Amino acid sequence: MDKPSKAQGNAQEKAQGKRQALPLSDILRKTIKDAFAKQGFAATELVTRWPEIVGPEISAHCEPEKIQWPRPYGNEDQAPGTLVLRVEGPTAIEVQHLSRIILERVNRFFGWQAVTDLRLRQAPLRRREKRKLPVLDQAAADRIASSLTEISDEKLRQALARLGAAVGKS
């Protein structure tokens, strides 16, 4: 009896109700995209790459909350929107003085004049805690490195040993 081809096997699995596992990022991408779209963000990058876009000094005191887009009339092109920033109270005046720079950097990121106005909303920022790096078990890393004698590149051997120690720890 011949083995079924991969395509036939996938068809049989679907017919039997079996599905292949999907990466979590693929499953959540649509949900996250819809949530960001409700806040006026065409792409998640403005939020996720905010420190890169405006710089660490500015991003430490404000974060994008939403973009408000005016409704287009008839066949007119989409007019630029208003970027609403969440700003810590004491730094709102400083961010207001930097508004031209912020708008310039955001528009440069988009590649077109996406926003022309800036609105500030004073509220606490959502602080993202930095994850602490796990402590390396040096004894385990040395033990693994000594077993990797067939790898001639010392840096690669040490990197693999550290990886093995970290995986073994988890």
Q: Which two tokens stand for residue 121?
A: 């909303």
Residue 118: name the closest of 135, 129, 104, 128 by CA. Answer: 104
- The answer to whether residue 11 is domain-embedded is no
Whether residue 57 lies inside any domain: the answer is yes
117, 52: one domain: yes
- Rounded to an integer, what distance in angstroms lies between the CA atom of residue 30 and that of residue 19? 19
Instruction: Provide the domain limits for residue 40.
Output: 24-122
For residues 118 and 142, state if they share a domain: no
Same domain, 151 and 91: no
Q: Quick one: tokens of 101?
A: 């720079």
Residue 67 CA to residue 117 CA, distance in Å, equals 10
pLDDT band, very low/low/confident/very high, at 75 (cuts 50, 70, 90): confident
pLDDT of 4 reads 54
The per-residue pLDDT of the chain, averaged, comes to 80
**Which residue has better confidence, 26 or 80?**
80
Closest listed residue to residue 121, CA positions, set 68, 63, 81, 70: 63
Is the same domain home to 102 and 60?
A: yes
Q: How confident is the model at residue 76 (pLDDT cuts 50, 70, 90)?
A: confident
- Please check whether residues 96 and 157 belong to one and the same domain: no
Phi (first) and psi of residue 152, to 5 degrees: -85, -30
pLDDT at residue 41, as a whole number: 55
Q: Report the pLDDT value the prediction gives residue 119, as an integer from 0 to 100.
A: 95
Res. 130 pLDDT band, cuts 50 70 90: low
Higher pLDDT, 69 or 170: 69
